[in-house]
Amino acid sequence: MDDLLYEMIFKRRSFHVFRGAEGEAITLEELQHIQKKFKQFIPLDKDIKIDMQICSAGHTTCKRGQEYCLLLYSEKKDNYLQNIGYVGEQLDLYLASLNIGALWFGIGKADEPEKDNMEFVIMIAVQKVRENKFRKDMFKSKRKPVEEIWDGPYIGNAAGIARFAPSACNTQPWLVENREGCLLVFRYRKPGRRGIMPAHKVTYYNRIDMGIFLLFLELCLRHEKIQFERELFYDEGGEERETLTAKYKYLKA
């Protein structure tokens, strides 16, 4: 599964609108398969209860031409936003393998804000799209240069590939320091505007982004045959410039 998801890093893209990209409709069998597959994805924290609900486009405020929206729910516990980002990005990459385009739609609202003692966190809009509408050259995407997000020795291609993780308004709120056999990953908050994000929501969405980035980073490390131990740190969503999110200690390099 890691190999498939890693390969999909180079294919996936964020479909800000689906009109003009549509392929055949997503089948009922595919929807059932996606629901089943979601339960098999690996969380950052197995003690946080999460769920996904598939609904037709008309039952949300998302109007991007999608067929369905995948609503992600979670218990509200420490680091639940990072956890949703980590699991949701596995879903995003897996959908690309099925030629299903996806869009993390942060400003969307669902008809059901709560479900089985879990709260709605974020939705992913989806639509079957033609193969030629996915990325052909990931490196043409607008991302920060490696030296801006990574301090210290590089580990194979991990630094160069992980930086292509998607993020809210393309804020790319991460910094990595490679120090004495450990990678320290920080949520980085740069002062200034954040696109269409309300100021009070920046740390909310950026914590989801950090979960997405951790998945990309780990897929890259495994692809480079790097074994590691991960330690997570609680991020309460403060306004500090740098907030430690995770520490990766090498077991083998």
**Averaged confidence pLDDT in the chain:** 93
- pLDDT band for 194, please (50, 70, 90 cuts): low
pLDDT for the residue numbered 230: 97
- Give the residue from 175, 151, 146, 179 showing the smallest Cα distance to 249: 179
* pLDDT at res. 119: 96
Instruction: Please give the C-alpha separations between residue 126 and each of 22, 123, 129, 160, in angstroms, as whole numbers.
Output: 10, 10, 9, 27
Q: For the domain covering 142-252, report its CATH number.
A: 3.40.109.30
How far is 153 from 250, CA to CA, in rounded Å? 13
pLDDT score at 195: 65
Lowest-confidence range among 97-106, 184-193, 194-203? 194-203
Average pLDDT over residues 6-15: 96
| Tens-place pLDDT, residues 218-234 | 999 999 999 999 999 99
Tens digits of residue pLDDT in 106-141 = 988 888 889 999 999 999 999 999 999 999 999 999
Reference 98, options 9, 28, 26; nearest CA is: 26
Rounded CA-CA distance 250/142 in Å is 30
The CATH 3.40.109.10 domain(s) of the chain lie at: 2-133
Q: What band does 199 get if pLDDT is binned at 50, 70 and 90?
A: confident
Structure tokens at 88: 């949701």
189-227: string of b/e by CB count within 10 Å (b at 16+)?
beeeebeebeeeebbbbbbbbbbbbbbbbbbbbbbeebe
CATH 3.30.70.920 fits 2-133, yes or no: no
pTM over 0.75: yes
Q: State yes or no: pLDDT of 253 exceeds 60.
A: no
Q: How confident is the model at residue 246 (pLDDT cuts 50, 70, 90)?
A: very high
Where do you find CATH 3.40.109.30 in the chain? 142-252
Percent of the chain clearing pLDDT 70 (strictly above): 97
The larger pLDDT score, comparing residue 61 to residue 187, is at 187
